[in-house]
Amino acid sequence: MPPKTAGRPRTTYFPLLAAERLDIALCRASAAVARAAESRSGENGLGVGQHLVLKMLVAVGPCSQQTLSEELRIDRSVMVNICDDLERAGHVRRERNPDDRRAYAVTVTDSGRRLLTEAEASVPGFLDHTFQALTSAERDQLAVLLGKLLTAGG
């Protein structure tokens, strides 16, 4: 008989459900990691979405908000708010897109590059803590599998 906790039997149902419903397990794991990431992001003053935008801009150069939204899979209305906040703080600027004068390109500033560098310094420790239940090989395997799912999902 399972031990009781606060008058109710302690169950191990969720691992059984997770094995049967991979979708539910992935959603719950994703939510737990997202909560941890948002909590950590408060420490450096850079939200997860803001971090992703700065990281992409540094990696690929100026982009439209639409491209940022599509590539990072962030809703367009949320992306507007992220870019507005980053622009107000001086971490990005919007400039006319030289390829399409009707559109704007979001460009990272020196301030944004510095903030990203500071935020990136804490990422390895965060990942080690968040994924401590997995071996290094399992983390590598998870990254490959998630990449496949995200690529297949469009």
User: How confident is the model over 16-55, as pLDDT tens digits?
Assistant: 888 888 888 889 899 989 888 888 877 778 889 999 999 9
Least confident piece of the model among 69-73, 78-82, 133-137, 149-153: 149-153
Provide the domain limits for residue 50: 19-121
For 112, residues 6+ apart whose C-beta sits below 8 A from its C-beta are 54, 57, 58, 86, 90, 91, 92
Q: Is residue 126 part of a domain?
A: no
Q: Which two tokens stand for residue 145?
A: 């599998």
- How far apart are the C-alpha atoms of 101 and 81, rounded to whole Å? 22
**pLDDT band with cut points at 50, 70 and 90 for residue 7:** low
Determine the 3-state secondary structure of 77 from DSSP: helix
Q: What share of the chain is helix, strand, coil (3-state, %, to 5)?
A: 65, 15, 20
pLDDT of residue 24: 87
- Neighbour-count burial for 37-71, b at 16+ CB within 10 Å, e otherwise: beebbeeeebbebbbbbbbbbeeeebbbbebbbee
pLDDT of residue 109: 98
Q: Is residue 153 part of a domain?
A: no
Q: Is residue 48 part of a domain?
A: yes
Partner residues linked to 106 by β-bridges: 63, 94
pLDDT of residue 4: 55
Residue 9 scores a pLDDT above 70: no
Quick check: 9 and 1 in contact, CB under 8 A? yes
pTM above the 0.85 mark? no
The pLDDT tens digits of the residues spanning 115-126 come to: 999 999 888 888
pLDDT of residue 53: 97
**pLDDT band with cut points at 50, 70 and 90 for residue 91:** very high
Q: Is residue 98 part of a domain?
A: yes
**pLDDT band with cut points at 50, 70 and 90 for residue 10:** low
Q: Is residue 150 part of a domain?
A: no
For the chain, how many structural domains are there in total?
Answer: 1
pLDDT of residue 15: 80
Q: How far is CA 1 from the centre of its chain?
A: 41
Count the neighbouring beta carbons within 10 Å of the beta carbon of residue 81. 14
Q: Is residue 147 part of a domain?
A: no
